[in-house]
Structure 1
Amino acid sequence: MTTANVDTLVLGELKCWRITTARAELVIAQQGAQILRYRKTGEPALLWLSEQALFKQGKSVRGGVPVCWPWFSNLRRNPEAVQAMYNGEPAPAHGLVRGCDWQLLGIEEQGDTVRLEFDMPQAQGGLPDWPHSVELRLCIALGDSLHITLSNRNLGAQPVTLSQALHTYFAVSDVRQVQVQGVEGLDYIETLADWEQRTQQGALTFAGETDRIYLDPPPHLSIVDAQHKRRITLHTQGSHSAVIWNPWTERATELPDMANDAWQGMLCIETANAWHDVLTLAPGASHALSVRISSEPL
Structure 2
Amino acid sequence: MRRHEIPDRAQVVDGPGGLPHLLLSSPAASAEVALQGGQVLRYARAGGCPALWVSRAAVYAPGKAVRGGVPVCWPWFGPHPSDPAKPQHGFARTMLWELRAIGAEGDLTWARLGLRDDEATRALWPHAFDLELTVRAGEQLDIALTTRNTGDAPLTYGGALHSYLAVGDVAQIMIDGLDGARYHDKVGGGEHAQAGPVTISGEVDRVYHGTTAACAVRDPALGRRVTVAKAGSRTTVIWNPGPEKARQIADMAGDEYAGMVCVEAANAADDTVTLAPGAAHTLRTVLGAEG
The 1:110–1:210 alpha-carbon spacing in structure 2 relative to 1, beyond 3 Å, is same
Separation (CA, whole Å) in 1 of partners of 2:39 and 2:185:
28
1:94 corresponding residue in structure 2: 89
Separation (CA, whole Å) in 1 of partners of 2:112 and 2:205:
31
1:241 corresponding residue in structure 2: 235
Kindly provide the CA deviation profile for residues 177-218 of structure 1, in whole angstroms up to 9, marking residues without a partner as x. 001001111100111123x11101111111110000011223
Q: Which amino acid aligns with 1:102?
A: W
1:210-229 aligned at under 5 Å gives the runs: 210-229=204-223
Displacement of 1:4 after TM fit? 1.9
Displacement of 1:123 after TM fit? 6.1
**Equivalent residue in structure 1 for 2:180, among 181, 185, 189:** 185
Separation (CA, whole Å) in 1 of partners of 2:103 and 2:119:
25
Q: Sequence identity of aligned pairs in percent?
A: 37
| 2:250 corresponds to 1:256 | yes
2:14 corresponding residue in structure 1: 9
C-alpha contact (below 8 Å) 1:125/1:131 kept by paired residues: no
| 2:99 corresponds to 1:104 | yes
Displacement of 1:7 after TM fit? 4.5
1:74-89 aligned at under 5 Å gives the runs: 74-76=79-81, 83=82
- SS of the aligned residue for 2:23 comes to strand
The 1:5–1:119 alpha-carbon spacing in structure 2 relative to 1, beyond 3 Å, is closer
**Equivalent residue in structure 1 for 2:276, among 263, 282, 291:** 282
1:79 corresponding residue in structure 2: none
TM-score (norm 2): 0.93
Separation (CA, whole Å) in 2 of partners of 1:134 and 1:123:
9
Q: Which amino acid aligns with 1:287?
A: H
2:146 corresponding residue in structure 1: 151
C-alpha contact (below 8 Å) 1:124/1:155 kept by paired residues: no
Separation (CA, whole Å) in 2 of partners of 1:124 and 1:164:
21
- SS of the aligned residue for 1:173 comes to coil
1:107-186 aligned at under 5 Å gives the runs: 107-122=102-117, 126-186=121-181
Displacement of 1:142 after TM fit? 1.0
Displacement of 1:283 after TM fit? 1.0
- SS of the aligned residue for 2:101 comes to strand
- SS of the aligned residue for 1:177 comes to coil
| 2:77 corresponds to 1:69 | no
What is the aligned residue count? 285
The 1:130–1:201 alpha-carbon spacing in structure 2 relative to 1, beyond 3 Å, is same
Displacement of 1:13 after TM fit? 3.7
2:28 corresponding residue in structure 1: 23
Kindly provide the CA deviation profile for residues 1-52 of structure 1, in whole angstroms up to 9, marking residues without a partner as x. x962524132114211112223222111110011111112222210001011
Separation (CA, whole Å) in 1 of partners of 2:256 and 2:176:
23
Separation (CA, whole Å) in 1 of partners of 2:154 and 2:118:
15
| 2:51 corresponds to 1:46 | yes
- SS of the aligned residue for 2:258 comes to helix
- SS of the aligned residue for 2:245 comes to helix
| 2:277 corresponds to 1:292 | no
Separation (CA, whole Å) in 1 of partners of 2:157 and 2:118:
12
State the Cα RMSD in Å.
1.7
- SS of the aligned residue for 2:244 comes to helix
Deviates more, 1:111-120 or 1:235-244: 111-120
- SS of the aligned residue for 2:171 comes to helix
TM-score (norm 1): 0.91
List gaps (5 residues or longer) in structure 2: 1-6
Separation (CA, whole Å) in 1 of partners of 2:10 and 2:134:
18
